[in-house]
Structure 1
């Protein structure tokens, strides 16, 4: 069984700190580019959905034909009869 040495601990700590700063630096460089691509893709998807929605609305809505209600035949005047007793 090996025991941990102080120099091994310092080397490990150094590599962890170095890796942390390298990753932090890379994120600062590439994050704006990646975010722009994500925003562009979301914008394209949104525009595509809007176009599909507007096309569906245009196809679904057709002005209904306004049919005039047909008049019933007028047979004569309505006469109200009263009963005579």
Structure 2
């Protein structure tokens, strides 16, 4: 059975597509702030959990007394090669 396309069917399809498009657009504008707020809270919670685990782990490994100072990392000392070149002292001429 072969069916032919009619003008009313085409107009009806276009109207349905437009209604769906504008419906999604309006719902998106209404629901977007709630979605963004939810995602940001989840990210903040995840970051807080990771940071909290790091702090708890650090405190468990190294219990500190009040007033105690500790250095966790020694600064990198760069050694320079003295045979590379000569230092040239200069003066500015006015």
Q: TM-score, normalised by structure 2?
A: 0.63
What SS does the corresponding residue of 1:44 show, helix, strand or coil?
helix
CA distance in 1, matches of 2:19, 2:63: 66
Structure 1 regions of 5+ residues with no counterpart? 64-85
- RMSD of aligned C-alpha atoms? 1.3
Structure 2 regions of 5+ residues with no counterpart? 65-94
* 2:12 alignment partner in structure 1: 11
* 1:36 alignment partner in structure 2: 37
Deviation of 1:14 (Å) = 0.6
- Which deviations, in whole Å up to 9, do the C-alpha atoms of 1:29-73 show, x marking residues without a partner? 00110110110111011111101001111222357xxxxxxxxxx
Q: Give the 4+ runs in structure 1 shifted more than 2 A.
A: 60-63
Deviation of 1:9 (Å) = 0.3
CA distance in 2, matches of 1:41, 1:55: 21
Decide which structure has the larger Cα Rg and report it.
1
CA distance in 1, matches of 2:8, 2:63: 81
Aligned ranges for residues 2-81 of structure 1 at < 5 Å? 2-61=3-62
* 1:73 alignment partner in structure 2: none
Q: Kindly tell me the number of residue pairs found equivalent between the two proteins.
A: 63
Q: TM-score, normalised by structure 1?
A: 0.69
